[in-house]
Amino acid sequence: MRPFLFLISLAFATSSLAFPTTSNAAQEEAAGCPFAAGSANSKRQSIVSLTKFDPVKQKIDVSGKYAFQPPRPGDKRGPCPGLNALANHGYLPRNGVTLFTDAILACNKVFGMGLEIGTSLSTVAMFLAGDLPTLSWSMGGSPGKSLLSPLLSNPQGLSGAHNKFEGDGSPTRLDLYMNNGDASTMSPELFKQLYDMLPENDPNANFDYETIVENRARRYNHSLSTNPQ
């Protein structure tokens, strides 16, 4: 546990070093805001984001160099559908092996993920499953030997970092122990369970926060009750 907590702390430190302007800008903005002191002490009234989806402003380009291409033999794909989609559309290298900073920027551009959390996740991925000399990591299996082999062991990739970077109870992947050591391949049955949570006759149905939380709780409880490990 202690090494993992160290990585988390290092990840947040790396975030400040990689993108110092984000934290500085927030501090400067708060310093010049007459309501900053009051808002800092006020209670949040809701956990629901006020940001609404705008299909025009938030449209993601999937044409030209960002058009979908299926992975080729040898390309790495892993347990994260979001990362797989970024590689399939060319926002990340299509071979599935990405630089530390490219992953941060792609997740920010396409998914709107904050630079701080993106830096934290990419840092942990790099230290747990990546190749430190090249500051890169694979979203799937091992990309091969490290530049410093045999001084450093070969990078595992995210598919080899189960219960380190990600764990059991996935929305669309079976538990490692329950699926003969495969926690990366999508389960059509689990995907259908998630898909069926939305009624087809409701035009306003969406995979919103509440739906994801409900499915997460169901998968977590199912894992606890069926997985002996």
| pLDDT tens digits, one per residue of 169-228 | 888 888 888 888 888 788 999 999 999 998 888 888 888 888 989 999 999 999 999 998
Write the DSSP string, 12-30: HHHHHHHSHHHHHHHHHHH
pLDDT band at residue 1 using 50, 70 and 90 as cut-offs: very low
What is residue 177's predicted lDDT score, i.e. its pLDDT? 87
Question: How many other C-beta atoms lie within 10 A of the C-beta of residue 138?
Answer: 27
What is residue 152's predicted lDDT score, i.e. its pLDDT? 75
The residues, any chain, with a CB within 8 Å of residue 189's CB and separated by 6 or more, are none
pLDDT band at residue 18 using 50, 70 and 90 as cut-offs: low
Q: What share of the chain is helix, strand, coil (3-state, %, to 5)?
A: 45, 5, 50
Predicted confidence (pLDDT) per residue in 118-138, tens digit: 999 999 999 999 999 999 999
Residue 87 has pLDDT above 70, yes or no: yes
Residue 99 has pLDDT above 90, yes or no: yes
Judge whether 75 and 86 are in contact, CB under 8 Å: no
Rounded distance between C-alpha atoms, residue 112 and residue 58, angstroms: 9
What is residue 45's predicted lDDT score, i.e. its pLDDT? 43
Helices 81-88, 100-111: inter-axial angle, 10-degree rounding: 90
Rounded distance between C-alpha atoms, residue 165 and residue 155, angstroms: 13
Judge whether 158 and 165 are in contact, CB under 8 Å: yes
What is residue 2's predicted lDDT score, i.e. its pLDDT? 44
Judge whether 120 and 12 are in contact, CB under 8 Å: yes
H or E element at residue 122: helix 115-129
- HEC assignment per residue over 188-214: HHHHHHHHCCCCCCCCCCCCCHHHHHH
Q: Which residue has the higher pLDDT, 148 or 221?
A: 221
Rounded distance between C-alpha atoms, residue 95 and residue 143, angstroms: 9
Q: Which residue has the higher pLDDT, 102 or 205?
A: 102
Predicted confidence (pLDDT) per residue in 31-81, tens digit: 555 444 544 444 444 444 556 767 788 889 999 999 999 999 999 998 888
Judge whether 158 and 80 are in contact, CB under 8 Å: yes
Query: How is residue 96 written in tokens?
Result: 């599935």
